[in-house]
Structure 1
Amino acid sequence: MRLVAFILNVVSTVSVGWAIIPLAWMIPICVRSWNIYKGTRPNTTAFGVVDLIFGNLVAGILLLVSKKEA
Structure 2
Amino acid sequence: MLRKFRIKINEKEYLVEMEELGTAPGAGFIAAPAAAPVAAPVAAPVAAPVAAPAAAPAPVAAPAAAPAP
The structure that is helix-richer by fraction is 1
**Normalization by structure 2: what TM-score?**
0.14
Q: Kindly name which structure, 1 or 2, has the bigger radius of gyration based on alpha carbons.
A: 2
**Normalization by structure 1: what TM-score?**
0.14
Greater relative contact order: 1 or 2 (C-alpha under 8 angstroms, separation 6 or more)?
1
